[in-house]
Amino acid sequence: MAHGAVQGGGKRRRRARRGGAINEINMTPFIDVVLVLLIVFMVAAPMMTVGVPLDLPQSKASPLNSDTKPVTLSIRQSGQIFLGEDELTDETIVGKLTETAKAGFEERVFVRGDKRVDYGRVAQVMAIVTGGGFKKVALVTEPDQK
């Protein structure tokens, strides 16, 4: 071997910067956290709907675009009425709606009736609401899947 040849066993040393600022940010942990949060919110979002679970009838009507959240009454198959998750009687519907309605009698009131509930019961609840002075009363349906 020649005197000036370096064999492969030699160690290379890197000089460590002393006192220099670190100018690289590792983005991998940040991306991992964001993706986990995205998945959590995607799974939790359908569970955040407030109200009583109903089987709504389907319709071909187009959805309404609205900025404010309306007051929603739900009618179960048994005829029970709910405002959010609170059960109401026929006598207390108008009182609870006036407490809840921020816009007074101009507040939009949505009536969600189970598709197996008697049509007369839905009409009776709508008559109670409109008779109490609320002018903007609408029925809620699901979009037709066909």
Beta strands in 1-65 (DSSP E): 58-59
pLDDT at site 37: 95
* CATH T-level fold of 58-143: Nucleotidyltransferase; domain 5 (3.30.420)
Alpha-carbon distance 38 to 50, whole Å?
A: 21
Contacts 24+ apart (CB under 8 A), 89-93: 90/124, 90/125, 90/128, 93/125, 93/128, 93/129, 93/132
Question: What does each of the 146 residues of the chain score in pLDDT, given as a tens digit?
Answer: 555 555 555 555 555 556 677 778 888 999 999 999 999 998 888 777 666 666 666 666 665 555 567 788 888 888 888 887 888 888 888 888 888 777 777 788 888 888 788 888 888 888 888 888 887 787 777 776 66
pTM, whole model, 2 decimals? 0.53
Domain positions in the chain are 58-143
